[in-house]
Structure 1
Amino acid sequence: MKKTVVLFAFLAAILSGCTTKSSKYHYVTVPNDPTNGRIYTLANGLTVYISHYNIEPRIQALIATKAGSKFDPHDATGLAHYLEHMLFKGTEDYGTADYAKEKPLLDNIDSLFEKYRHIPMTDTAGRNAMYAEIDSESYKASHYAIANEYDKLMTAIGAQGTNAFTSVEQTVFQENIPANELEPYLQIESDRFSHPVMRLFHTELEAVYEEKNRHLDNDFSKVDEAEMAMLFKKHPYGTQTTIGTIHDLKNPSLKDIINYFHTYYVPNNMVMALSGDINPDSAIQLVDKYFGGMPSKPVPAFIPPVEAPITAPEYKTVLGPEAAYVTIGYRYPGADSREADTLDLVTQLLSNGHAGLFDIDIKQQFKVLDAYAWNQTMKDYSVLTLQGYPNRGQTLEQVKDTLLKEENKLKTGDFPDWLIGAVVNNLRLQQMQQDRSYQSRAYSFVSAFTSGQDWGCLQDEVNRLAKITKKDVINFARRNFNNNYVVIYKKTGNDTAVEKVQKPRITPIQTNATLASAFLKRIESEKVPEIKPIFLDYKKDISHLTVDGILPVYEVKNNEDSIFDVYYLFKIGNQNSKLLDPALTYLEYGGTSDMTPAQVQQEFYKLGCSYNTFVQKDQLYIYMSGLTQNFVPALKLMEKVLADIQPDTAIMRKVAGVIAKNREDNEQDKYYILFQGMYQYGIYGEHNPFNYTLTNDELTDLKAEEITDLLHHLTSYPHHILYYGPESPALLATQLTQYQKLPKQFDIPPKPSEFIQQKGDNQVYFVDHDMKQAEIIVLEKGGRYKQADAPLSSLYNQYFGGSMASVVFQDLRESKALAYSTWCSYNNPSDTTESCYNLAYIGAQADKLPQALNGMFSLLNDTIPDYSQLWSTSKTEVLKNIETNRIIRQNELFSYEHDQKLGINHDIRQDIYEKVPSLTFEDIQHFHTNKVSGQPYTILVIGNKKDMNIKALAGYGKVNQLTLKNIFGY
């Protein structure tokens, strides 16, 4: 149990303490912990979790503090999040060319911001004048700042995934580093958390404004905030948000941010999680060396407000442009409570994606379009969320009633007796899958620490869930599912109450990209043990089999655990048949001659196996995963379903309704419109793979027999199998021979429709959408794929637009504060029949669009700036990534598939590794000039027309406003 009163005795039983002969550091372990985690506590109180797992020579490194938004002062919300951003700006030692000269200017900026925040919001002239002074002083200070030097340091040591996030109870800083770079990493992070400097604040403030506006454009975020505000009238979970209010964002205090850092960023309030190819004994010595000197001090106690019971449902409506849905929220005790375990189980009983009550009794029965349940376990309270999407013609009130009626079955015990056991077994499988990821281990460690949960308790949870009985579930439901909920109706409409954060006028700052601090030079010069790359040998690493003389099978042996993953890859896709998409949807709802649709889904779940399908323009995947002991039953079941799925006119009619409603919802999703529909339109033109689909009328007229005939015939089309699992090749071949019904010869698939990639003609395609931001893509068609270009394009992408240290990011975000997110990438096609494309992206406030586009095109068309430091670290990053990243498990199979389609017969990374060291800056400049600069382009823009400067867009070519009919085709 998790209850506090029994915790001490429980810990004494399951924890063991150790001190190795070679180390003076005491640590705690948990018996039968599959992560083999060690938990250290340094003398200054810093908690350190270490898990050794040498699947590849890298380490997932996380540093976190119990400093989330619930600790923000009520009159300075967003402080923890602000600080997260500022801890990327460097220290007294790096991020600066001369800190002694920079500091007086920074001190003055601090003071100016204090004056600024006390000028009344109504005094526009006074605030503008003060901000102009801040802007002027910030420009002077930027002459000494070296923007993004933290990112350059991480690039220099080969780090990946440089980022951070803030939530209600934690701020987490994340890096994935080469195993031989642990000491340099610790040196950098020690300085980062000991001597941070809040420089380049006013441009980073712009980035936070952009983030807030993106948040306001996200309907899901708005609903989540509403749910928390209704559940928590006193607790900061609901009374304030992580990103903060617009008022507080407009009135920041650097002094408050610094005080917050000194209050909460102390070792006794922090954790470091290291997981991967690491020696715990030597690692803890290094951690102590660089972090042991950080002084500890008491942290203010947080006394959680006690919420009053919810005795009657509360309702709220949220408006936004995206699809309508209903959310129901319940509030429960926190992580350290008796209820936490049962809530985890109950959530899975309701919704597990396969055989939960929502899955079988609601979704399978077409009672709503979609339904989910999930829970958040936080330190002080937990939240259970139910969510449902309506069918066409269905009201949100009806969806709400359907969810509550289904939930009520837990009170009466109206669910199968076997379901609890099946949930527990599937949770064990999920835990196994999670533990085989060294990255997941690190995040689990951090979550345990920041939520105040004991690691042993977390590891033992599935065993505790196995002891929960059906009666326990019934009693829990009767106690906790009453009128104690809140309801949010998310309706499609214009939210006139949303206020966008207006951008202040700022002068582009100096980024000093050619400079490097002595700290960076020292890190670069440090010698670390060599790690040699390991390249795939497709002939040796993959077993090549042929079943019945016709079916190719490619196998990679799983020597780690008992999990299998199998993929059927059919050489038939959407361009061959418009029926494939509806056929795969029908597969989710259809039954066989002796199994109902529900029984099919339940049987897969009982086996601890899952399956998914996915179709592209030229191929179709069917994927299964589970425990090897159930591989044969799962294989037989999958084959049975494909061969025996039955036509049902009523189900077909309802499937058509599901697809039609999903289409309507997708038409309201800005990212789906841009990155799916508009992107394909920009590549192929009006006739493209995205809109090559059945019209709604054709969908309505579709016969169930047409769909089932296609599914029955599927295995008669050319296909092959990818298998990752413990079985030997010989046994696998025997099993497939026995249970796969294959023709003597594969049939020829229907002739594919042809789609022609278009060369840009300098036109703009625009979609009017209700949103605060503008999202922009610039496409430039390149030539056909050439293996010889792989080293050039890899280095070009790293240097020019592929990271926070890149030319594009430094110019558009760091210097000019024109975008929250921006990048550029020269992308390879999926096969030899198509062309490469350069893709540049900007996510910005709509009123910044003219400057942002101008800035991007200047970078695309001018010669690339020559930053020697960035050039050096970019080369290092490319090489270190190849040295320390391993293509493993089923990814070996996918790498082989990818390379085969491009006509590559070996691991292309070997070419990159051998040739990048000799590439010169002139080579990259030549690549840019020939492939990107001055090329015909297509611009894709989605945003609110009334906020757009259409005249500015017209300066780039004819502006074509696309309708959703143009994009979606139906």
Structure 2
Amino acid sequence: MKTSCRLKAVLLLAVALLALPTFGQGLKAFKLKNGLSVYIWEDNTKSDVFGIVAVRAGSVNEPEEYTGLAHYLEHVMFKGTDQIGALDWAKEKPIYDQIIAKYDEMAATSDPAQKAAIGRQINDLTVEAGKISVSNEFSDLMESIGGKNLNAGTSYDLTYYHNSFPAYQINKWLEISSQRFIHPVFRTFQSELENVYEEYNMYQDNPGNQQANFLRSKAFEGHPYARDIIGLPEHLKNPHLSKLIDFYNEWYVPENMVLILVGNVNAQQIAGRIAGTFGRLEAKPLPQRKTYPDLEIKGRTQYSAKVGIYPSVCLIYPGVPAGHPDELPLEIAMSLLSNGDHTGTLDKLTLDGELTDCGASPMTMREQGRNLIQCIPLYDENQRRFESNKSTEKKALEAIRRVANGEFEDWKVEAIKMNLCRDFDVQMESNTFKGQLLMDAFINNKDLAKVLNYKDEVMAVTTDDIKRVVKQYLGDNYLALYIEQGKAKKGEKIQKPGYKPIEPPVGKESLYAMQFKHMPIGQVEEKFIDFSDVQVQQLNDRSKLYYTPNTENNVFSLTLRYGTGEREFPKLGIAAELMNNAGVMGAYEPQQLKEELSRLNATCQVWASDDYLYIMMRGYEQTLPQACQLLSRQILMPQLDDKQLSRLKGSVLGSRQQRKDNVSTLADALSQYIRYGEKSDYIDELTDQQMLELQISELTGDINRAANYEAEIFYCGTLPFEQVAQVLSTSLPLVANERPSLSPQDKPLAPVAENTVYFLPNNDAEQAQIFFYLPMGAYDKQDDVLRDAFNQYFSGGFGGLVMNEIREKRSMAYYAGANVLTPALPGNPTYMYGHLGTQNDKVNDAVDVFMRLVNDMPQNPSRLDNIKSYLRQEALSTHPDFRSKAQYLRTIRRMGYTDDPAKVNLPKIDALTFDDITKFYRANIQGKPYVIGIIGNPKMIDTDKLAKYGKVVKLNERKLFNTKDALF
């Protein structure tokens, strides 16, 4: 009865608040009496709300002898409280206390046998506690209110929890999101430990992670930023649940936390509700933060490590922490070296074919900062090797010297500033970006007014400011980190302990859950997508303009989509890549064209898919005609560059030379092979010899030929429709009598005649990858609700069968999922695709559990109400943003809809029964032939046992790639 009274009190409670300060643009901020900060950004044009609860605590704040606590805590914060998920807390608490004590006992001994014995005792207690609790109830309740993308993240200086939800569910979201921080119970800690082990092992197969660890260890030596967020393996294997509880009690205090709500929310209406929910968190003093001296970088210091797929040079200079007055001048200074428009001094080296790639960016953390410049040497296609890191460093230093000496025009500074403002305007269209912007401000103690006035702050930076910071920070004091080709020494492997699975009671829910479901909600508005503002006009014989008004800013976006792609012109992808660094024949060299576009504050990107050649431009509308004219000249008379072609050949061939040693690439190739066979992207590609023989003339011809196809032009801006149509019809490269498009098409799926297990042995794989493919019947929009319902039941979040059975109960995989995927065209086949990542010694067990789900899907009708609620709320809140509305309309019409699919599907969702889900499964999946693909260490996987799931075929790596005329 106490819980019921508490919930009623929350509904009625109104706590006196300070007046809500307004920062403009719909942002309001205030503090609760307990010290918790609240930021609310109102935007009633959105259909939902994005919510964050962030804590100013991360891996930096962990005791040095207990690393990994912050990340562990993030995992178990989903496991409920003494109310959420508690079926009988009076019985569960003594067991929970024993588990805490057992972990302390286990940590105190160094005897492996004793540790193992205590681990088994903890497992017995965990299984017992699991019978009287529902550890995934928090996730289930979030699903019941239409919560989407429920997730969390841990970094060095923060931990945050987030998801989006329908606006009318704000009361329930505030209730449960605050309740999770009141007496949390870290249930299934043992199984989450194994999930973290899986995550740790996954990172061991990632070369990028190995490089990042090397860079951080040198860049932030002497500071916790130098170590990996996930923690050290010796600490991961020796966990203290009591230390985790201490970390929570010390750092998760209201004064150290922020609630952020962005979207369709009214601050004045919900301020009292926020006080009544998050105001329940107990006020506590802020903990003391440990301080660390900054690394003093004197002169040039070089370090080397063989951790790269390809060589690279990383120059690390002193920097500033987040919020420092020099942060913005340094951001602009680094953009003078390299930027998205490729007008920097380092970019010129890439455009001139001197480097394979380069980049420059500040690393601004809460306590310290660095400036990072990274360059990949040029790959010599003739000698089939990369140039030296030493010569690459010399080139980079010369580019830095030019900026340090002030060898840049004032207009470049102004263009960079304007482009930063343009990009900020576009990012501000996103609820997620706004939420993260506010979170960054809170974590780093930034002035909210300055954050909102970012554009004014940018424009106030002067050329003198930039020259000053360049001389101060980008001088002769730096670290030269040489990354050489080679396999990194992998971290310590964490082995499978082999514990018994947790079997929570099926169909049970806590008293809290029962009362939560009966809480009142706001008015439900069935607000459907209004496509009336999408205007269409024929611009040529076949080409059409799709126009959508921009109601938020004056940044236009233009997507030109020609109706052909790499399926018809296999070299078009290479040609499109070259177009990004091309000039205009007889008029502009590549660097000149980049600079001219930059002067117009416009940016352009070209790429190709199997179906289309895409050209996307973005900028301010006052320069639209000039930008389109430049674009037209480039497409009609492209000046592709031989040096760029040579650089691109080297980049592709250099990558191919290494990919058989890259476990992630091999896994992706295996995934494509089981689904597409010889049509895999890794097989149906240009051979090495064809790459070497590429000529500028044929690539230019492919661009010209692609531009002869009909085009779809998607425009979003503030100019009137008629004016836009006039500008585009006269300024875009649209030919008369265009060739008709046959796009899109679906890549043919590989047929499956019998159950087959493809095994790719790889001794270097610390974590095995398991893929599942089952071809199904033709797509029909009439099945959309059934398909979505099955996907949500089978693999929807933590409550889905796959995650629940494989990860939550048995800790067999860090990630696990399987969904029915749909084609681009109605009438083409659908298919079921699954992916698990697990330790090699868990492969056989994981496959057993997954195949039990596929072959005989467990029945749990109690999940139906949650699934229906989720599908209904998702249908009503899934609205495309204004920039993508026209393309979304084209897509749904192609699939057979004439209006918002929600109008058709809501009645079907309401009528859905659990029997419908079961019938869909039995008709389309149960008993159908399938393929399993596995890459892993053959010494730890019993392939004989896999034979019960089909014929086992051992693959060679060369089978996954196009080996005709191979050079390596």
Aligned in 2, Cα 1:950/1:553: closer, same or farther, shift over 3 Å?
same
- Aligned match of 1:478: 471
Structure 2 CA distance for aligned equivalents of residues 308 and 565 of structure 1: 44
Code of the residue aligned with 1:378 in structure 2: it is: M
The 5 A counterparts of 1:854-869 are: 854-868=848-862
Aligned in 2, Cα 1:754/1:465: closer, same or farther, shift over 3 Å?
closer
- Aligned match of 2:171: 183
Q: CA deviation at 1:871?
A: 1.9
SS in 1 for 2:270: helix
Post-superposition Cα deviations, 1:671-714, rounded to whole Å, max 9, x if no partner, equal 44434x33332222124455333212122222211111222333
- Aligned match of 1:911: 904
Q: 1:788 aligns with which of 782, 790, 807?
A: 782
- Aligned match of 2:952: 958
Code of the residue aligned with 2:785 in structure 1: it is: P
Structure 1 CA distance for aligned equivalents of residues 640 and 935 of structure 2: 41
- Aligned match of 1:330: 317
Post-superposition Cα deviations, 1:509-528, rounded to whole Å, max 9, x if no partner, equal 11324211121122222231
Q: CA deviation at 1:892?
A: 1.8
The 5 A counterparts of 1:331-480 are: 331-358=318-345, 360-392=347-379, 393=385, 394-480=387-473
Q: Identity, % of aligned pairs?
A: 26
Aligned in 2, Cα 1:385/1:867: closer, same or farther, shift over 3 Å?
farther
SS in 1 for 2:118: helix
Structure 2 CA distance for aligned equivalents of residues 221 and 527 of structure 1: 46
Q: CA deviation at 1:395?
A: 2.5
- Aligned match of 1:849: 843
- Which has the larger displacement, 150-159 or 389-398? 389-398
Code of the residue aligned with 2:131 in structure 1: it is: H
Q: 2:620 aligns with which of 600, 618, 627?
A: 627
Structure 2 CA distance for aligned equivalents of residues 663 and 750 of structure 1: 31
The 5 A counterparts of 1:372-771 are: 372-392=359-379, 393=385, 394-536=387-529, 540-592=532-584, 593-646=586-639, 648-664=641-657, 669-675=662-668, 677-688=669-680, 691-747=683-739, 756-760=748-752, 761-769=754-762, 770-771=764-765
Code of the residue aligned with 1:243 in structure 2: it is: I
- Aligned match of 1:284: 271
TM-score (norm 1): 0.93
Q: CA-atom RMSD, angstroms?
A: 2.4
Aligned length: 941
1:52 correspondence with 2:42: yes
SS in 1 for 2:480: strand
1:889 correspondence with 2:889: no
Q: CA deviation at 1:537?
A: 5.9
- Which has the larger displacement, 690-699 or 373-382? 690-699
> Is the contact between residue 67 and residue 264 of structure 1 (CA under 8 Å) also seen in structure 2?
yes
SS in 1 for 2:174: helix
Structure 1 CA distance for aligned equivalents of residues 204 and 679 of structure 2: 34
Q: CA deviation at 1:641?
A: 0.3
Structure 2 CA distance for aligned equivalents of residues 742 and 883 of structure 1: 38
> Is the contact between residue 611 and residue 745 of structure 2 (CA under 8 Å) also seen in structure 1?
no
> Is the contact between residue 210 and residue 488 of structure 2 (CA under 8 Å) also seen in structure 1?
no
Q: CA deviation at 1:486?
A: 2.5
> Is the contact between residue 87 and residue 509 of structure 2 (CA under 8 Å) also seen in structure 1?
yes
Code of the residue aligned with 1:937 in structure 2: it is: Y
SS in 2 for 1:775: strand
> Is the contact between residue 765 and residue 962 of structure 1 (CA under 8 Å) also seen in structure 2?
no
Q: CA deviation at 1:483?
A: 4.0
Structure 1 CA distance for aligned equivalents of residues 556 and 446 of structure 2: 32
Code of the residue aligned with 2:869 in structure 1: it is: T
> Is the contact between residue 799 and residue 806 of structure 1 (CA under 8 Å) also seen in structure 2?
yes
Code of the residue aligned with 2:713 in structure 1: it is: I
Q: CA deviation at 1:457?
A: 2.6
Aligned in 2, Cα 1:483/1:743: closer, same or farther, shift over 3 Å?
closer
Q: CA deviation at 1:628?
A: 1.5
- Aligned match of 1:815: 809
> Is the contact between residue 561 and residue 713 of structure 2 (CA under 8 Å) also seen in structure 1?
yes
Q: CA deviation at 1:190?
A: 2.0
- Aligned match of 1:801: 795
Aligned in 2, Cα 1:376/1:203: closer, same or farther, shift over 3 Å?
same
Aligned in 2, Cα 1:68/1:473: closer, same or farther, shift over 3 Å?
same
- Aligned match of 1:17: none
1:77 correspondence with 2:70: no
Code of the residue aligned with 1:852 in structure 2: it is: A
1:209 correspondence with 2:203: no
Code of the residue aligned with 1:363 in structure 2: it is: T
- Aligned match of 2:5: none
- Which has the larger displacement, 330-339 or 178-187? 330-339
Q: CA deviation at 1:646?
A: 2.6
SS in 1 for 2:538: strand
- Which has the larger displacement, 36-45 or 666-675? 666-675
Q: CA deviation at 1:23?
A: 7.9
Q: CA deviation at 1:129?
A: 1.2
Structure 1 CA distance for aligned equivalents of residues 504 and 626 of structure 2: 61
Structure 2 CA distance for aligned equivalents of residues 620 and 647 of structure 1: 16
SS in 2 for 1:441: helix
Runs (5+) with no aligned partner, structure 1: 1-20
Code of the residue aligned with 2:832 in structure 1: it is: N
TM-score (norm 2): 0.93
> Is the contact between residue 551 and residue 718 of structure 2 (CA under 8 Å) also seen in structure 1?
yes
Code of the residue aligned with 1:792 in structure 2: it is: L
Q: 1:136 aligns with which of 102, 105, 124?
A: 124
> Is the contact between residue 551 and residue 720 of structure 1 (CA under 8 Å) also seen in structure 2?
yes
- Aligned match of 1:157: 145
- Aligned match of 1:254: 241
Structure 1 CA distance for aligned equivalents of residues 643 and 857 of structure 2: 62
> Is the contact between residue 602 and residue 619 of structure 2 (CA under 8 Å) also seen in structure 1?
yes
> Is the contact between residue 322 and residue 364 of structure 2 (CA under 8 Å) also seen in structure 1?
yes
Structure 1 CA distance for aligned equivalents of residues 185 and 817 of structure 2: 26
SS in 2 for 1:865: coil
Structure 2 CA distance for aligned equivalents of residues 845 and 886 of structure 1: 39
Code of the residue aligned with 1:801 in structure 2: it is: S
Post-superposition Cα deviations, 1:492-519, rounded to whole Å, max 9, x if no partner, equal 3333452111121210011324211121
Q: CA deviation at 1:946?
A: 4.4
Structure 2 CA distance for aligned equivalents of residues 22 and 113 of structure 1: 41
Aligned in 2, Cα 1:940/1:134: closer, same or farther, shift over 3 Å?
same
> Is the contact between residue 275 and residue 442 of structure 1 (CA under 8 Å) also seen in structure 2?
yes
Q: CA deviation at 1:913?
A: 1.5
SS in 2 for 1:233: coil
Structure 1 CA distance for aligned equivalents of residues 721 and 655 of structure 2: 41
Structure 1 CA distance for aligned equivalents of residues 766 and 857 of structure 2: 33
Code of the residue aligned with 1:547 in structure 2: it is: L
Code of the residue aligned with 2:266 in structure 1: it is: N
1:935 correspondence with 2:928: yes
Structure 1 CA distance for aligned equivalents of residues 745 and 172 of structure 2: 54
> Is the contact between residue 152 and residue 805 of structure 1 (CA under 8 Å) also seen in structure 2?
yes
SS in 2 for 1:370: strand
